Amino acid sequence: MPVNSDTFSTKWTRRARNLTRRTLHLARERSHGKVLLRDAVGRLEAPRPWLEHAAEAMAWLRRAQDQTGCGGVAANYSLLEGWGGPYPETTGYIIETFLAWADRTGETTDVDRAIRMGDWEIEVQLPSGAVRGLSGINAHPIVFNTGQVVFGWVELARRTGDPRYAQAARRAGDWLVEVMDDDGKWSRHIYGNTPTVYHSRVAWSLHELAALVGDARYAEAANRNLAWTLSKRTETGHFRDMAFDPADAPMTHTIAYTLRGLQESARFVDGTLRDDMQAAVRTGCERILRAYELRKTSPERMPLPLPATLDAKWKSKDTYTCLTGDVQLAAIMLREHRRERDPRLLNAAVKLIDQVASTQPLDTDHPGVRGGIAGSFPLWGKYMRMSYPNWAAKFFVDAVLLGEDMLASEAARPAGAR
């Protein structure tokens, strides 16, 4: 097929302009060069008390919300392009984090912010009940995004008693049930057009909705998806169809999505399904723990950061880490420690949180950088390259709050008690 020279020329002109714009943006910001140099030489600061780091991440999230002017939270801050647009998916589950932080600190303005997020999500909810895909106000619905906003609406309904949030969540849940396949997977309106096991996190949201409104349809649909998810488990405890792209090894981010969906959903079921889900989470934690501990250069030293992806044998050749996945896995290990009383998991979770905290930039006043948690370490890793995504900050705060509670509980436990 012959190349249209005008189209070819236009495409490369646009690319050149984008490159020039990104380069100029990077050059203008002295703080950007500073964090890039820090990552290049691998110079990380010793972590401060966790709650100080979490407070900085919350301040970053507030600035990300303020940037949009609509109540939603900006998807990210890019060193190359600046602030992104409001992101319906992640704004939905950030609601829970703001409410949890308000519980810890008594900061009522964070409750107000969470309510603004929930109200904005209702404003932009599609007529079908679904949530829009990608950042900004797009017309196409996405299954995963819809489930994540259900979490926020359900929590606001519990906290405020405002029926609008339960109504919005029910509309979203009805759509999720409607577009589910008979075997429990979702194959329509999904990212990448490939059914995936990390939709277990959507199943979890349906269980939360069922518990709120007392409608068993949502729980039944959730359990169909969870059974389908378990059918994808391999003999190594890994899962097929766990990556964004089936051709790639899954990132720790999507591994954590999958395991957390199973871990939390197990609270709502019993019998064989619960036992199988708990066993899957337990095995996953064991495999990840082993992969992490094998990264020690000597027995007494901190392990090197987890690689960003883990293949079907729980191995990787990556030279960067996905910070979002690190703190998500830390939270999963903390919850599994609470269930199993396994100090190895508690120890690994503490190390993971410390490692992520040590990458948080706190020696700059730049509003898009200070307090943010990068997608990758170093910043030019493949996941959310050169960017601070809002969900990384969210999951970091979640892990810190859980970790603080867990360590306080351990300190209060009588010697020798399990």
Read off the pLDDT of residues 51-72 as tens digits, 9 standing for 90 and up: 999 999 999 999 999 999 999 9
What is the C-alpha to C-alpha distance for residues 332 and 325, in angstroms, rounded to an integer? 10
DSSP string computed for 70-87: SSS-BSEEETTTEE--B-
The β-bridge relationship of strands 321-322 and 387-389 is: unpaired
Element housing 324 (H / E):
helix 323-340
- The secondary element (H helix, E strand) that includes residue 230 is helix 216-230
Q: Give tens-digit pLDDT for 195-253.
A: 999 999 999 999 999 999 999 999 999 999 999 999 999 999 999 999 999 999 999 99
Average pLDDT over residues 124-145: 97
pLDDT above 50 (res 332) = yes
Amino acid at 188: R
Please tell me the predicted confidence (pLDDT) of residue 14: 64
Q: Looking at per-residue confidence, does 17 or 72 come out higher? A: 72
Structural contact between residues 334 and 403, judged by C-beta atoms closer than 8 angstroms: yes
Q: In the predicted model, is pLDDT for residue 23 greater than 90?
A: no
User: Does pLDDT of 2 surpass 50?
Assistant: no
pTM: 0.93
Indicate the length of the chain as a whole number. Answer: 418
| Cis peptide bond upstream of 378, omega within 30 | yes
Element (H, E) at 82: strand 82-83
Residue 303, pLDDT score: 94
Q: What is the mean pLDDT of residues 21-44?
A: 75
> Is residue 28's pLDDT more than 60?
yes
pLDDT greater than 90 at residue 15: no
pLDDT at 388 over 70: yes
What are the residues whose beta carbons fall under 8 Å from the beta carbon of 343, sequence distance 6 or more? 337
Which tokens is 192 given? 């990448």
Residue 22 is predicted with a pLDDT of: 56
- Averaged pLDDT for residues 265-274: 98
- Give the residue among 178, 171, 144, 138 at the shortest CA–CA distance from 157: 171
pLDDT at 8 over 60: no
**Would you kindly state where each structural domain of the chain is located, as residue ranges?**
39-411
Per-residue confidence (pLDDT) for residue 34, from 0 to 100: 86
Tell me the sheet residues that pair with 211: none
Largest CA distance in the chain: 77
pLDDT band (50, 70, 90) for residue 415? low
Q: Examine the pLDDT at 135 and tell me if it is beyond 70.
A: yes
Q: What is the pLDDT of residues 341-378, one digit of tens each?
A: 999 999 999 999 999 999 999 999 999 999 999 999 99
With a pLDDT cut of 90, the percent of the chain lying above it is 86
* pLDDT of 45: 81
Q: Tokens at residue 308, please? A: 């960003």
DSSP summary character for residue 44: -
Instruction: Tell me: pLDDT of 94 over 70.
Output: yes
pLDDT score for 24: 52
Q: What is the pLDDT of residue 364?
A: 92
- Asked if residue 411 has pLDDT above 70, the reply is yes
Class of domain 39-411: mainly alpha
